[in-house]
Amino acid sequence: MKKVLFLLIFTIHCSLFIATAQDQHLVDSLETKLKTLQDEKVKLRHNVASINDTAEADILYSISKLLWGNNLDKSMKYARQSLEVSEKIGYKKGTGNAYNSIGAVNIDSGDYSAALEFHLKALKITKEIGYKKGIAASYNLIGEAFRMQGNYPEALTNYFAALKIRTELKDEQGIAGSYNNIGLVYTILGNYTEALKNYAVCVKLMNRLGNKFGIASCYNNMSLICIGQDNYPEALTNSLAALKIRKETGDKIGIATSYNNIGLIYKGQGMYAEAEKSYFSALEIDEEIGDKFAIATSYYNIGNIFFIEKKFKKASEYLNKASVLSKEIGSFEDLKDSYYSLSQLDSAQGNFAMALEHYKLYKNFLDSMVNNENTKKTIALQMTYDFGKKQLADSIKSIEEKKVITSELKQEQTKSYALYGGLALMVVFGGFMYNRFRVTNKQKKIITMEKHRSDELLLNILPAKVAEELKEKGSAEAQLIDEVTVLFTDFKGFTQLSEKLSPKQLVAEINECFSAFDHITLKYGIEKIKTIGDAYMAAGGLPTPNKTHAGDVVKAALEIQKFMHEHRVKKEKAGELFFEIRIGVHSGPVVAGIVGVKKFAYDIWGDTVNTASRMESSGEVGKVNISGSTYEMVKNEFNCIHRGKITAKGKGEVDMYFVE
């Protein structure tokens, strides 16, 4: 959990630190200038109104930008005024700036979808007029919104795009900000070497520019690296240095972030009372400025400290607050981690049924973070894992290498005996040759058997095509498959039933059902993907695409339905408890590949997976519920009953059919 907590402390929007002077005197000065300008406009009326309007739009934007992070309501007010003035006179540069400012406030408020909408509008306008500084700012802020959503590949893509333009413009402050942001993502991903390289460039530029706000952010990020490496003394030194500068500059978001970091450092050292104090200091500031993302993070941190201190009631209060707020603002990273912590809390209190429910929610959101349709292409690129010759491929060959070495040692030993000369030499040599032939044959059989066992094990984990690619190249590329059919099953009332069965009975019952499902999917050439608790997931049309996947999966679903019905009848006759099943099927595109370098697994991602899950949860017990897209592929093969448009959670109204 330490890494999870570590990721949660990134509440400061570091891409904004270059633009934010946090100087109230400058804000006051600009507001005075704005009032003077508006008074002049009234006097001049229509004579030079357009010139004054342009200046007014720029000043409104500048004030809004200075207030990012510290006064969200006021910042939004000035940004919208700037947009209104710019649109009125057709001032596209001003319109682009205003969109970016509105988006930045949305980031601070935790509304990342709205932020992306405005930043993409700004990017379109700035590209139309060739306003390079505005293009770079848009890319940077788009990257920021993606980072806050936990979409790190898209965040890096946009941060690098901003860096390229800023380098062309020789914008040192912008360049420093980009290096800082790129370093931040690498820190989150645990790539400390790349993170430190980027921070080093940032620190150099910040010192040359004398930018205190930027220097504080660099101290903060160095502190995060130290925390990740368990170097708490140095982490505390850097965090306190950042906190001091941030107090001097009045950077409220930065102060809250430093308190969160310091709390994490104290927690790592076992100083829980001090950690709790720091987290509450952060929460007080977060609530003052209305930063919902940061508030959710502080709730989470406080809940975890209470959990460690065995103050379970308080831990439950704050972890539930964190999950509710994270869900409201769409912060999947915090929501996922909150569910995980709640599952641990439930387990510690002996509430195993709720622990299981929270763990299932954690797993669902873990998957959904990757299933974002907008990141499908990036995920496909990122998922080409190079395992290297020293991992899987070599592990399969290692048995053969060891056997060869053993054989060679025995040869040398046998040869030494041949030196005793004469007839003994011939006898020994003859015996050696025979023994060598016999041992070699035996070793070959052992090697062949071990290799066969390794291959079987590999094929039990991965599809044959993927396994072969992995053995040949030491890596396997992800696939973007345009059309597959995904099947989901889930047992009704599993939690309640599991409480009535002993652990041995529960596992035996699940094993019997899932083993039957395995045989059925194998029969129809469908790839089993995974099981999550009582849920079973499989897909047709991969890793090798085919045109029969929809029909194959529906046939398998009907056979699973038949098995469960027969299983229920058998259990009822014996007076035993039994599971009832819901089955959902949906067709569409997915990204497929292997993940991890240890205990790796073949998996699929995409909105198709989410929709298939919704087909299951929106179905009825004992029924095979399919989506409209699957129906169009199988309507000539099966009798289907149209259910109308049914509301599926998170999907709105969707056409659904029961297969008879």
- Nearest CA to 615 among 603, 628, 605? 628
Cβ neighbours for 328, distance < 8 A, ≥ 6 positions apart: 292
Are the beta carbons of 128 and 92 closer than 8 angstroms? Answer: yes
CA–CA gap between residue 525 and residue 652 (Å, rounded) = 32
Backbone angles phi, psi at 643, to 5 degrees: -90, -5
Tokens at 248, concatenated: 């001097």
User: Can you tell me the distance from the alpha carbon of 381 to that of 413, in angstroms, rounded to the nearest whole number?
Assistant: 53
Q: Cα 366 from chain centroid?
A: 7
Half-sphere exposure of 566 (CA within 13 A, CB side): 9
For residue 263, give the nearest of 306, 226, 302 by alpha carbon: 302
What is the number of residues in the chain?
660
Q: How remote is the C-alpha of 266 from its chain's centroid?
A: 27
- Which residue's entry shows tokens 């009848």? 569
d(CA 157, CA 152) in angstroms, rounded, equals 9
Which of 320, 237, 329 shows the shortest CA–CA distance to 290? 329
Contact at 8 Å (CB) between 554 and 657?
Answer: no
Q: Which SS3 state, helix, strand or coil, does residue 626 take? A: strand
The predicted pLDDT at position 367 comes to 58
Is-contact 251 211, C-beta < 8 A? no
- Tokens linked to 457: 């094990």
Q: How far is CA 437 from CA 407, 430, 440, in A?
A: 11, 11, 5
Point out the residues of the chain with pLDDT beneath 70.
Answer: 1-52, 69-70, 330-334, 365-478, 595-600, 648-652
Q: 632-641 long-range CB contacts below 8 Å, 24 or more apart? A: 633/485, 633/550, 633/551, 633/587, 634/550, 634/551, 634/554, 634/659, 637/551, 637/554, 638/554
DSSP-derived pairing of the beta strands 580-595 and 624-627: parallel
For the stretch 237-274, what's the b/e string if a residue is b when 16 or more beta carbons lie within 10 angstroms of its beta carbon? bbbebbbebbeebebbbbbbbbbbbbbbbbbbeeebee
β partners of residue 532 = 535
Residue 190 CA to residue 94 CA, distance in Å, equals 39
The SS3 call for residue 202 is: helix
CA 120/CA 643 separation, integer angstroms? 39
Residues 6+ apart with CB under 8 A from 97: 57, 58, 61, 82, 86, 122, 134
Distances (CA, A) of 588 to 303, 490, 539, 627, 653: 40, 21, 11, 10, 17
Distance CA 199, CA 217 (A): 10
Convert 15-38 to b/e letters by CB count within 10 Å (16 or more is b). bbbbbbbbeeeebeebeeebeeee
Region class of 491: left (phi > 0), else alpha (psi between -120 and 50), else beta: beta
439 and 410 Cβ atoms separated by less than 8 Å: yes
Sign, Cα dihedral of 599, 149, 119, 185: negative
Q: State the helix-helix crossing angle for 252-268 and 212-228, rounded to 10 degrees.
A: 20
For CA atoms 433, 439, 440, 442, the dihedral sign is positive
**Contacts of residue 645, Cβ cutoff 8 Å, sequence gap at least 6:** 653, 654, 655, 656
Residue 534 structure tokens = 């009582």
Element (H, E) at 453: helix 422-461
